[in-house]
């Protein structure tokens, strides 16, 4: 049985677009969502996070694409 490294499970919290600053650390430098292998997130929270990131993007809290400068 593998250890659950999901930070949302550990904190017993849910991803929320209101916490876009927390979610932003699950984005790569280019603004893509990091893979589950790298984030250690469980499938449920990964799905939830993707939904909330979409919401945050729609509200312009997070960028769609980060252009390299």
Footprint on this chain of Zn ion (rule: CB under 5 A): 6, 8-9, 42, 45
Whose Cβ is closer to Zn ion: residue 6's or residue 61's? 6
Residue-wise over 11-34: b if at least 16 C-beta within 10 A, else e?
eeeebebeebebbeebbeeeeebe
Whose Cβ is closer to Zn ion: residue 9's or residue 61's? 9
Question: Considering the complex, what minimum distance in angstroms separates the CB of residue 9 from Zn ion?
Answer: 3
Question: Considering the complex, what minimum distance in angstroms separates the CB of residue 31 from Zn ion?
Answer: 22
On whether the CB atoms of residues 49 and 26 are closer than 8 A, the answer is: yes
């Amino acid at each position: 049985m593998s250890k659950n490294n999901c930070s949302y499970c550990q904190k017993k919290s849910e991803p929320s677009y209101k916490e876009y600053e927390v979610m932003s650390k699950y984005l790569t430098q280019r603004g893509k969502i990091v893979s589950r292998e790298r984030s250690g997130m469980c499938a449920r929270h990964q799905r939830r996070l993707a939904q909330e990131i979409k919401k945050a993007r729609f509200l312009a809290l997070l960028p769609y694409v980060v252009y390299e400068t």
